[in-house]
Amino acid sequence: MKNKTIYRLVLGLLCLLFLKVGMIQAQSLPSQFDGVDDVIYLGDSAAIISTFDTNLRQVRSTNGTSNGTDIYLGDLLDGSHEQRTFGDVYLFGDQFRIAGSYPKSASVDLHTGNYNTTKAVTGFTSTRNAYLSQIALTWNAVPGADGYFLFRKDQNTAQPYRVLLGTSRTMYTDIGLTVDTEYEYYICAYNLGEQNTYLGPLANHKGKTKPFTFTATPTSEVTVDFSFQFDNHLLVGLQQQAAYVEIVDQTGGSNQVVYEDELTLQDVAVDALLFDKAVSFTGNDTMGGYADPNLTAGLPTWSVEMWVNLDQGNSNLPYLYDDGTTRMLVDGLGRLVVFFGGVESGHTGLWSPNNVMPRGVWKHVAATYDGANFRVYVDGEPVVMGDFHGNNQKVANVRNGADLKQTLQIGHPTKKWAATHVNMNGALGLLRIWNKTRTANQIKEDYKDVFSMTASGLVGQWTFENETVNLPDNIGGGRVLNLRSNNNQHPIRWNPSYAFFNGLVNIRKWTWLNQPQASGTTRTFRINMYEVGTGKLISTNTNTTGAFTHPGAPSFSATPQSGTPYRVDLSLTPTSTRADAYLIIRTAGNQEKLITTLKPDEVPPAQPGDPRTYRFQTTPLTFTDTYAYGDTTTLQGGVNYSYRAIPVYNFLPSEYVDATAARSDAASTLDMMTSVTPQADRVLVDWDETALAGAQYDSVRVERNGQMLAILPSAVGSYQDSLMLYGLPYTYRVVALKNGQPALAQAEEKTVTANGTFGGLVLAKKGDYVLPNVSVALFSQLADSVVSTHTANANGELQASGLIYGAQNQFAWQTQAGKPLTNATFSLSLAAPQVSSQRVQYDTTLQPTTDTTLLKNMSLATTVANGLFFNWADTASFTKESSFFINVYRDGTLINILRDVTQFTDYEGTPGKHNYTFTAYYYDLAGKKLYTNSVDRFDQTFPALTAATGLAAANNGDYRVRIHWTYPAAAPVDQFIVERQIPATDTVWQIATLAQSGASYTVYDDRGYPGKTYAYRLKVVDMKGDTTLLGTSNALLYPTLTTATVLSLATAAPAL
C-alpha cells in the first residue's frame, strides 16, 4: 500500500524534516494519540503514527527525546520499534512543510496521510441495557475505508482497543464487560491506499450493560420463586467459565443462605448455538474415528482452525492432525506438540507451555504456515512455541517444507510413533481449512464465529449438523469431509454441543423456607454472584417479596358410625398445596395418641422439569379409626374422643409441624370387646355379649380367614376353634348381626410361630472389609424398640432367627449405641420370611498395613467359556485370626467376597473391556490389626456369549417337530428358552425352558398347527439374568395328518 506522498529511504539521505503539523481541534481521545510511543501495528507490515498537535523534529534515534509537542521519529524509520518489525511507516497530520533536513539511512517506506474530516463515521451507536456483559456497537460504513480504529475510554491508552478490518464492517460486539456499567467508545476510519491515505475524525458514543435483575416472589406460605437474568457472555470471560450464585435471606438480620448453585456454559447456553452438534471420536492406539478433508492438492501456505474438546481422564497423546509430514498432538501436560519433516523427535519438534490445552474444555486451535514461519493460536491468542527443553520460545518459528499435504487427516496419526500416540479422544465441533496464511488479527476477530458465506482463501468449513459420514463444505457445498472409523469398537458418534454466545437467559429457581409464613409477612433476599476459582464478586442485588398468604387450617370432621359403634370416620380437606402430610392425633381426656399420617397425592408437574413440583392436591382425605383387641391405644368402649389434624412440611430444610391445626367435634364409642386367645391346641374367640345385647345385636357370625365357622346367639359370648393347623397365621372375625344383617365387625390376626430369619455379612463402610466378631443390635419398627443383639462370627457372618414380624415388619441393624448402620434395613413378611445374603455396612475406620505376600503372582485374566478366570498364589506365610478374604471389584463395583481361595471365575460380566481390582486382607491373631494388599487387572476383555451349534428343526416322523442343538457344558448359563415363530408375522410362542445339563439338547413341539410354516428360536439366559437370542432354525411346514394317516394309525393301535 503506497501513497502518492512517499519518501523512500534506502541507504540514502533524508532531505526532509523539520515538519510542522497543524492543530487538530477535533482530537478528543481518552489519551492523546500523538507520539512515537503511540503506535498502531498492523501485523508485521505497517506502523501508523498520528501527530495531531505536535512538531516532527528529526529522525535520529540517538539524539533527542519526544517531549511535549516535539516528536522524534527515532528508530521507527529503521523498521523496528518496541521489538516489532514492519516494512511501512504511516504518518498522519493536518499539514506538512519542510523545515529542515538531516541525513538518515533507513529501509522502510514512509507514507504521509491527511486528517480528513470528510471521512467521519456516522450513525455510531450501541445497545443500552440489553445484555449483562456485552455491548453491540454499530455504525454506517465509510466508503473506501480500509478499516476502523476503535478506542474505549477506560483503557487509558493511546493504543486502539480494537483494529477492525474491512470496508463494509459496520458492527462490533464487545464482550466480557462488567454488569450495569457505562462504557464510552471512540471510532475513526482509516485508509492506507496509495490514492487516498487518510485518518478520519473521531466519533464517540456511550453504551451501557444491563443491570443485574433479581426478584423474589412468594408462591405459597412456605415457598419463594427467585428469578434473575444471565448470559453466557459473562461466563466466557471468567477463568473457569463458571459462576457461583447464592441467595441469602436477610430478613431480621438472619443472613441465611437459602439457595446456592454453580452456573456453567452448559447451564445457561440453551438457544443460539455456535454449533448444535459435535462429532465424538473415541480413539485408541491408532484405531477409531477420524476425519479426512479430501484435499485435491497440497497447500504451500495454509491455515487450519478447529474447535476441540479432549476427553478427561485419558493419559494418551491424542492427535489433532497429521499429513504425514507435519503433525500436531496434545501431551499429558496439556502442551501442544508439533513435529515436522516426518520425524518424531522431541529435539526437532515445537512444544508449547503446559496447560495450553486442558482436557474437558472446548478450545479453539489454529495453525498457520506462510511458507517459512509456523504459528499456533489458542482461543484467538498466539502461543509461544519452544524446543523440547523450553528454550527459544517465540510465536513465529522458522520451518522449511511444512506445506500441508493432501494426505491431511484430522484426529488420526498416519504412522505409529509411540504406544501413547493415539487417535483423538474427544469432540470436534468445527473445522476450517484455508489456502492462505491468516493473520493474528483475523484469527482473533472471528475464531468465535461460524462463517455464513464464502471468504477469500477458505477451502472449506465444516460443522457437524447432519449425521453423515460425507460432509460437504457447509458454505460452498464443494469439498467433502469424510468421517471414518478404522475400528468398529470405536464408532463415530454425534454429541450435543452448547452455545458459546447466546442472548440473555431468564433463570428461575425456587426454594422452601424454614417454616410457613403468616399472612401479610414479607421477606428480604439478596443475590450474590462470584467468579468460581477467585471468589471475585461479580454482581449483587436485593429484593423484598410481596406479602405472603397463609391458607389457614384444613377442614376436618370426625363422624361415629351408628351401626358400628367401634368405628369413627375421619375426613380432612387440605387448604395448603405445600403441606405433604397431616398428623392425625386422637385425644381422650389428657391422653393423646398419634394414630396415622394422611398424605395427599402429588400434583403432576405441568411438564417435565417444571419448577412447580412438590405441589399437593386438596381433595378430601379419609381415615377410619377402629378398635383393635389387646391394644389399649386404639378406640375403647364408652369413651369420648376428639381429633386434631396438624399440617406437616417434610420438604423444608428440617421437618416442620405447623401450629395451624384443625380440631374435630367429639365422638363417642360403644363398649364392645373382641379377643382372640391362642391356647395349647385351640383358639378362643370371645366377645362382650352384654354390650352387644344392649345395642340390640342378637347374633354373631364367627369367621376364620374369610370362611364362616359358625353363627351363634350373641349371648353365648365365645367360640372355641380347634380345627386349625399349627404354625400358620389366622385372622378371626366376629360379625355382629341385627335382624340377620351384618352391622358390626371386629377382627384380629394371630401368627402362632415366629419363623423370620436373617443372614448376611458385616462389612466396614469404608473399604468393604469383612468385620469379624462385631456385635450389633436389631431394631424392630413394629415394636419400635431394640428386640435382640447379635454378634457376627469370625468370618463376619451375621445370623438371626425366630424373628417375629406379624403380617409384615421392617427391621434395621444398628450399633449397640443406637447408630444406624448402612444398607441395614430389611423387611420380613408372610410371603418372604427370610433374608439370606445382605451386606450390612458398619461405619468404622480401619488402618490397614500392606502385606505384599497376598495375591502373589496374580495372573492376567484367562478367557474361559462365558467368563474370565483369575488365579494367584497364597504363600500362607502369615499368621491370621481366621480366614483371609478377597474382595473382587469389576469397574469399581464390589461383585464378590471370597474366602481362603486362590482363584475366581467371573461369569456375570458384559462383553468388552473391564477393570478388575482384587483386594485381599486378613486380621492378626488378636483380631486387632488388618493386613491388606490390592492388585489391579485393568482392560481385561470379557468374552462374548458362547454360540450354540447345530440348531435345526426337523419333522420327527411321529407328526411333531424335533428341535436339536448342542451347547458346551463348560460354558455356564442359567437356562435355555425355545420359541416357535411364524416368520411371516413374527408371531412367537414359548414352547419350552430347559436348565443346562450336558452338551446335547432336544425339544419336541407337538402343539403346532398342521400345514403352518414355523421357525424355532433358541434363547439363553446367562448367569447375570440377561436373555440373548442364540439363533433361529430353518423354517419348515408343521406335519399334516391326512385321512389315510389317521386310519393307518388307528389300525396300528393295540386293542383295549
3-state secondary structure 76-126: HHHCEECCEECCEEEEEECCCCCCCCCCCCCCCEEEEEEECHHHCCCCCEE
Question: What's the pLDDT at 918?
Answer: 95
Give the containing element (helix H, strand E) for 441: helix 440-446
1035: alpha, beta or left, given left = phi > 0 and alpha = psi -120 to 50? beta
More confident residue, 62 or 565: 565
Question: What's the pLDDT at 877?
Answer: 58
| Spatial CA neighbour of 449 closest among 644, 853, 263, 172 | 172
pLDDT > 70? residue 64: no
Boundary (domain end) residue, out of 70, 91, 115: 115
Contact predicate 94/116, CB 8 Å = no
pLDDT > 80? residue 430: yes
Contact predicate 779/813, CB 8 Å = yes
pLDDT band at 96 (very low <50, low <70, confident <90, very high): low
State what percent of residues in the chain have pLDDT above 70.
77
Q: Tell whether 344 and 444 lie within a shared domain.
A: yes
Question: What's the pLDDT at 237?
Answer: 63
More confident residue, 78 or 779: 779
pLDDT band at 303 (very low <50, low <70, confident <90, very high): very high
pLDDT band at 629 (very low <50, low <70, confident <90, very high): very low
More confident residue, 192 or 44: 192
Q: Tell whether 620 and 575 lie within a shared domain.
A: yes
Q: Tell whether 123 and 111 lie within a shared domain.
A: no
| Spatial CA neighbour of 162 closest among 131, 135, 197, 181 | 135
pLDDT > 90? residue 405: yes
> Is residue 1054 included in any domain, yes or no?
no
Q: Tell whether 475 and 585 lie within a shared domain.
A: no
Range(s) of the domain holding residue 244: 214-271+502-544
Question: What's the pLDDT at 986?
Answer: 86
Question: What's the pLDDT at 238?
Answer: 72
pLDDT > 50? residue 187: yes
CA distance 634 to 686: 18
More confident residue, 162 or 823: 823
> Is residue 1050 included in any domain, yes or no?
no
Phi, psi of 569 (to 5 degrees): -90, 125
pLDDT tens digits, 900-912: 899 999 999 999 9
Q: Tell whether 870 and 836 lie within a shared domain.
A: no
pLDDT > 80? residue 1036: yes
Question: What's the pLDDT at 73?
Answer: 64
pLDDT > 90? residue 129: no
Average pLDDT over residues 306-324: 88
What lies within 8 Å, CB to CB, of 784 at 6+ separation is none
Q: Tell whether 427 and 325 lie within a shared domain.
A: yes
> Is residue 586 included in any domain, yes or no?
yes
What lies within 8 Å, CB to CB, of 258 at 6+ separation is 224, 247, 248, 249, 511, 513, 525
Q: Tell whether 297 and 325 lie within a shared domain.
A: yes
CA distance 178 to 848: 53
Average pLDDT over residues 381-401: 86
Phi, psi of 870 (to 5 degrees): -125, 150
Contact predicate 198/92, CB 8 Å = yes
What lies within 8 Å, CB to CB, of 1052 at 6+ separation is none
pLDDT > 60? residue 1013: yes
Boundary (domain end) residue, out of 942, 961, 990: 942
pLDDT band at 7 (very low <50, low <70, confident <90, very high): very low
Q: Which of 233-237, 350-354, 454-458 has the lowest mean pLDDT?
A: 233-237
835: alpha, beta or left, given left = phi > 0 and alpha = psi -120 to 50? beta
pLDDT tens digits, 735-787: 878 777 776 555 566 555 566 789 999 999 999 999 999 999 999 988 889 98
| Spatial CA neighbour of 220 closest among 423, 511, 491, 525 | 511
More confident residue, 587 or 50: 587
Assigned C-alpha cell, 690: 352384654
> Is residue 366 included in any domain, yes or no?
yes
pLDDT tens digits, 459-483: 999 988 666 677 888 887 777 888 8
Q: Write down the pTM of the prediction.
A: 0.40
Q: Which span out of 218-232, 389-403, 522-536, 649-663 was modeled with the highest average pLDDT?
A: 522-536
Q: Tell whether 311 and 403 lie within a shared domain.
A: yes
pLDDT band at 162 (very low <50, low <70, confident <90, very high): confident
Here the CATH number for the domain that contains residue 314 is 2.60.120.200
Assigned C-alpha cell, 866: 462365558
> Is residue 1042 included in any domain, yes or no?
no
Boundary (domain end) residue, out of 60, 90, 115: 115
pLDDT band at 100 (very low <50, low <70, confident <90, very high): low
CA distance 669 to 564: 9
Q: Which of 233-242, 392-401, 555-564 has the lowest mean pLDDT?
A: 233-242
CA distance 839 to 818: 19
Assigned C-alpha cell, 753: 410361630
Q: Tell whether 153 and 302 lie within a shared domain.
A: no
Contact predicate 196/118, CB 8 Å = no
Q: Which of 530-534, 741-745, 871-875 has the lowest mean pLDDT?
A: 741-745
Give the distance, in angstroms, between the CA of residue 230 and the centroid of all CA atoms in the same chain.
Answer: 21
pLDDT tens digits, 567-603: 789 999 999 988 989 999 999 888 889 999 999 998 8
More confident residue, 1047 or 923: 923
Residue with cell 449483562: 132
Q: Tell whether 724 and 700 lie within a shared domain.
A: yes
User: What's the mean per-residue pLDDT of the chain?
Assistant: 80
Question: What's the pLDDT at 28?
Answer: 38
Question: What's the pLDDT at 671?
Answer: 53
pLDDT band at 354 (very low <50, low <70, confident <90, very high): very high
pLDDT > 60? residue 61: no
CA distance 303 to 456: 12
Here the CATH number for the domain that contains residue 864 is 2.60.40.10
pLDDT > 80? residue 890: yes
Question: What's the pLDDT at 14?
Answer: 28
> Is residue 109 included in any domain, yes or no?
yes
> Is residue 426 included in any domain, yes or no?
yes
Average pLDDT over residues 926-948: 90
Residue 245 burial (10 A CB sphere; 0-12, 13-18, 19+): buried
Phi, psi of 111 (to 5 degrees): -115, 140
Dihedral, 126, 129, 132, 135 alpha carbons, nearest 10: 0
> Is residue 836 included in any domain, yes or no?
yes
pLDDT > 80? residue 541: yes
Q: Tell whether 193 and 240 lie within a shared domain.
A: no
Residue 800: helix, strand or coil by DSSP? strand
Question: What's the pLDDT at 724?
Answer: 57
pLDDT tens digits, 692-721: 877 778 888 888 888 899 999 989 999 988
Question: What's the pLDDT at 1030?
Answer: 93
SS3 string, 824-846, reads EEEEEECCCCEEEEEEEEECCCC
Question: What's the pLDDT at 467?
Answer: 64
pLDDT > 90? residue 111: no
Question: What's the pLDDT at 801?
Answer: 86
CA distance 423 to 290: 7
pLDDT band at 272 (very low <50, low <70, confident <90, very high): very low
pLDDT band at 925 (very low <50, low <70, confident <90, very high): confident
pLDDT tens digits, 113-122: 878 888 999 9
Q: Tell whether 37 and 95 lie within a shared domain.
A: yes
pLDDT > 90? residue 91: no
pLDDT > 70? residue 612: no
CA distance 704 to 720: 12
Residue 667 identity:
A
Question: What's the pLDDT at 57?
Answer: 47
State what percent of residues in the chain have pLDDT above 90.
32
Q: Which span out of 80-94, 209-223, 606-620, 811-825 was modeled with the highest average pLDDT?
A: 811-825
pLDDT > 80? residue 500: no
More confident residue, 853 or 746: 853
CA distance 358 to 575: 55
How many domains does one find in the chain?
9
